[in-house]
Structure 1
């Protein structure tokens, strides 16, 4: 259930190759990288890439084109960032339209994860944005980019998202999960996928 992640702007092709090697060694599900690092050869791992990252302030058509390009270059999963400002303003129709544009650009096959940037949102905005993403065809709603100054994942946000979508779509917790206990807490709150950049540290610290 882990997306082994490398999204640092200074990441090199060698860093991504090292990420893939570590991911294979750890036995995680997927590697998640920036779209400019594609195509990659993950050797049986799922390939995920981010879209509209990290601000979400890209035009929806640009997000759609970027998503289509990532799929053409081998991405099986897409982690897109919503227009967080639209969610803050309560314009959930704009959130829905943003997600729908990306979904229509790539079709039904790629897994679409929608990043809400929950640390910047009220509880109501988290719930309504999660529901809008679900209506637009998302397969997962996701907490965070890990780049927002307001913070990353929280168990409260995960629980709100899980309650809102009621098991109909997945919940990805990502952003600042650095310990085994934090990972276990996110799972207990309802996370069905974890985005980790320190996967080895987390996995090695888990109890037998």
Structure 2
């Protein structure tokens, strides 16, 4: 697959989720996203309003993470955080499913958790479900895809960048095979160069979550700053 810089940029959620991220760093993130016309910036909910104001009129969207990075918040708390993020300007929500509940087979609880977030922002924002693939076997990954789609989510996503493993081509391919064609797949975690970005897209990724967006479009090696 041959993609030019502009085409690759359109897949990228330019990401900064470090605990010590400053407002100044978020503004730099937004400036880079506007300059390169990335699809969105992905930030913690605390910075949604800052990012939305900085990106006004640029066409770049704001995505907010919810229940991040553990997925162990109460579902009601995730739903509230998602709704507030949308109120502050987020167009997309990346929510972490309850990983432990998935691993022990509490599938109804997992579906309900995702659905509460979806319902909280219905008609106002799309929802991506982070499944933290590094903790899961293939059967659990496939189940997470199914539950996410049943709950009304719009995307499934590999990882937070804080778990034991990031995105792999194999996982992206598996996820693509286990959701309908209308559901997006986001490869996130460890996507730091052009070759990896293209490999993920070829495997079925429709979005790339990375803190190395500038390095990717410039054709250089990136360093993760999640």
Same fold at TM > 0.5: yes
Structure 1 equivalent of residue 80 of structure 2? 65
Kept in 2: contact 1:88–1:122 (CA 8 A): no
Q: Tell me whether 1:182 sits opposite 2:196 in the alignment.
A: yes
RMSD, aligned CA: 1.1
State the distance in 1 between where 2:43 and 2:30 align: 10
Summarize deviations over 1:128-184 as a string: whole Å, max 9, x none: 111100010101000000001x11111111111100013120000001111111111
Q: Tell me whether 1:20 sits opposite 2:43 in the alignment.
A: no
TM-score for the superposition, normalised by structure 1: 0.95
Shift of 1:102: 0.6
Q: Any runs of at least 4 consecutive aligned residues in structure 1 with deviations exceeding 2 A, and if so which?
A: none
Structure 1 equivalent of residue 4 of structure 2? none
Q: Tell me whether 1:167 sits opposite 2:181 in the alignment.
A: yes
Structure 1 equivalent of residue 146 of structure 2? 131
TM-score for the superposition, normalised by structure 2: 0.88
State the distance in 1 between where 2:105 and 2:204 align: 25
Q: Tell me whether 1:122 sits opposite 2:133 in the alignment.
A: no
State the distance in 1 between where 2:102 and 2:138 align: 11
Shift of 1:65: 0.6
State the distance in 1 between where 2:109 and 2:123 align: 21
State the distance in 1 between where 2:206 and 2:119 align: 25
Local SS of the residue matching 1:53: coil
Q: Tell me whether 1:78 sits opposite 2:93 in the alignment.
A: yes
Q: 1:32 is matched with which residue: 42, 51, 55?
A: 42
State the distance in 2 between where 1:92 and 1:158 align: 22
Summarize deviations over 1:42-101 as a string: whole Å, max 9, x none: 133101110000000001001001111101111110000000111211222221111001
- Unpaired stretches in structure 2, ≥5 consecutive residues: 1-10, 221-226
State the distance in 2 between where 1:7 and 1:58 align: 17
Q: 2:216 is matched with which residue: 191, 197, 202?
A: 202
Summarize deviations over 1:112-132 as a string: whole Å, max 9, x none: 000000111110000011110
- Unpaired stretches in structure 1, ≥5 consecutive residues: none
State the distance in 2 between where 1:27 and 1:37 align: 19
State the distance in 2 between where 1:184 and 1:119 align: 21
Q: Tell me whether 1:9 sits opposite 2:23 in the alignment.
A: no
Aligned residues: 205
